[in-house]
């Protein structure tokens, strides 16, 4: 008798979760359709429909014809019933994105703001956050949480910074941000956050390595649909593998790191800081840009070949440069294939799904996924 109640509670939870997941899949559903699809009785479906209606997660959205009787009421997900906010902080910019329960981007913002570990900087961050919330038309009750992607190693508690040299984050950065954003805040490594967008968009890709090609170079290993952080949260730090022995000095103190040779700034600096202008000039045949791009692709091929030799999985190319790589993917695949010792082609290379706001979106999606899983 003592085990009956917990078992019943668990079954009720499973039924509610399964019904909610069907609504997440999209489209209108009637009680009859849900009962047939999930092999549940109508009273069970009706009870859960009422609970989801009371929570504001679904709403009546129409009806379906029912031969010989009244039309059946149809329901759909209210995708904006809840939302999460993602923030990306870099040396020179603050980017934000608001996402709904389906992971759709509701609105974004990006402003130039030189990072400073100061009260004025975080006060401005809070102001920009409030502007985004207002722009998205969100109320406080709708916001599940705020994820902040940083160019830093973040501990498993999502509050503590373990390593940060790109921007001068202080040990109390969590408190500094939380003081101006009155919601649940979690910190994320930028590459890990960006990689999560790929898991969300392509759940069938169970194992992959995400290579972030931005002004700083990062990586993330996705293992069984989960970001693998490593024993000390340092997994995937491809930017600090040695690419050229005794090469250029890196900010980390070592020489020849991948970071120095694949930073997007090597390209954007040729076009007055604009990566978009660099690729426009490359397409138009600018000779200096063509030479720089050829050199960049060579270094990228070496890096990709090394990562693939170690992990033997798909590699997703993301970040600022990754957003422009579709037109050059076949060239890169040929270069990688030429370096491979086992005759493998470069078919394992993919370009990112999120061309922009990947870090902010990924930081927000963690809250969306957690909420959807808990229903």
What is the reported pTM? 0.91
Strands (DSSP E) contained in 127-280 are: 143-150, 153-154, 161-163, 185-189, 208-213, 217-223, 226-228
Find residue 257's DSSP bridge partners.
242
Q: How far apart, in whole angstroms, are the C-alpha atoms of residue 306 and residue 238?
A: 10
Q: How many residues are there in the chain?
A: 375
DSSP string, 65-98: --TTSPPEEEEEE-TTSSEEEEEEE-SSEEEEEE
pLDDT tens for each residue of 113-158 = 999 999 999 999 999 999 999 999 999 999 999 999 999 999 999 9
pLDDT score of 1: 47
Q: How far apart, in whole angstroms, are the C-alpha atoms of residue 170 and residue 174?
A: 9
Residue with tokens 């390593």: 163
Classify 203-351 by CATH class.
alpha beta
Domains 83-194+358-374 and 203-351 share a fold: yes
- Structural element, H or E, at residue 100: strand 93-100
Classify 83-194+358-374 by CATH class.
alpha beta
pLDDT score of 305: 97
Which residues in the chain come in under a pLDDT of 50?
Answer: 1
pLDDT score of 66: 59
Q: How far apart, in whole angstroms, are the C-alpha atoms of residue 78 and residue 76?
A: 6
Domain ranges of the chain: 4-77, 83-194+358-374, 203-351
Which CATH fold would you assign to the domain 4-77?
Answer: Arc Repressor Mutant, subunit A (1.10.10)
User: Going by C-beta distance under 8 Å and a sequence separation of 6 or more, which residues neighbour residue 79?
Assistant: 100, 101, 102, 104
pLDDT score of 120: 97
pLDDT score of 24: 95
Among residues 95, 326, 86, 264, which one has the least CA distance to residue 183?
A: 86
């Amino acid at each position: 008798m003592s085990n009956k109640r917990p078992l019943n509670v668990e079954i009720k939870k499973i039924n509610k979760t399964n019904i909610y997941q069907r609504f997440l899949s999209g489209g209108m559903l009637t009680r009859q359709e849900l009962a047939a699809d999930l092999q549940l009785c109508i009273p069970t479906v009706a009870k859960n429909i009422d609970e989801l209606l009371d929570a504001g997660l679904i709403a009546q959205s129409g009806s379906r014809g029912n031969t010989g009787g009244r039309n059946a009421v149809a329901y759909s997900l209210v995708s904006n019933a809840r939302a999460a906010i993602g923030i990306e902080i870099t040396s020179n910019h603050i980017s934000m994105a608001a996402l709904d329960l389906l992971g759709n981007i509701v609105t974004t913002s990006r402003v130039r703001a030189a990072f400073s570990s100061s009260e004025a900087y975080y006060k401005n961050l809070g102001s920009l956050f409030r502007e985004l919330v207002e722009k998205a038309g969100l109320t406080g009750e709708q916001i599940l949480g705020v994820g902040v992607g940083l160019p830093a190693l973040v501990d498993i508690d999502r509050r503590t910074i373990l390593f940060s040299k790109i921007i001068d984050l202080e040990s109390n950065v969590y408190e500094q941000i939380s003081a101006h954003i009155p919601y649940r805040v979690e910190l994320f490594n930028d590459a890990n956050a960006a990689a999560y967008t790929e898991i969300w968009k392509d759940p069938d890709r169970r194992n992959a390595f995400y290579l972030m090609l931005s002004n700083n170079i990062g990586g993330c290993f996705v293992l069984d649909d989960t970001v693998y952080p490593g024993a000390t949260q340092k997994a995937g730090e491809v930017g600090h593998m040695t690419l050229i022995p005794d090469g250029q000095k890196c900010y980390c103190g070592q020489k020849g790191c991948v970071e120095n040779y694949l930073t997007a700034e090597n390209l954007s600096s040729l076009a007055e800081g604009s990566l978009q202008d660099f690729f426009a000039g490359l397409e138009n045949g600018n000779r200096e840009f063509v030479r720089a791009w050829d050199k960049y692709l060579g270094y990228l091929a070496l890096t990709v070949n090394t990562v693939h030799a170690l992990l033997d999985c798909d590699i997703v190319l993301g970040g600022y440069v990754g957003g422009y790589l579709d037109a050059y993917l076949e060239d890169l695949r040929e270069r990688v294939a030429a370096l491979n010792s086992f005759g493998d082609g470069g078919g394992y290379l993919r370009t990112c799904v999120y061309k922009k706001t990947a870090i902010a979106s990924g930081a927000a999606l963690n809250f969306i996924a957690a909420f959807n899983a808990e229903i």
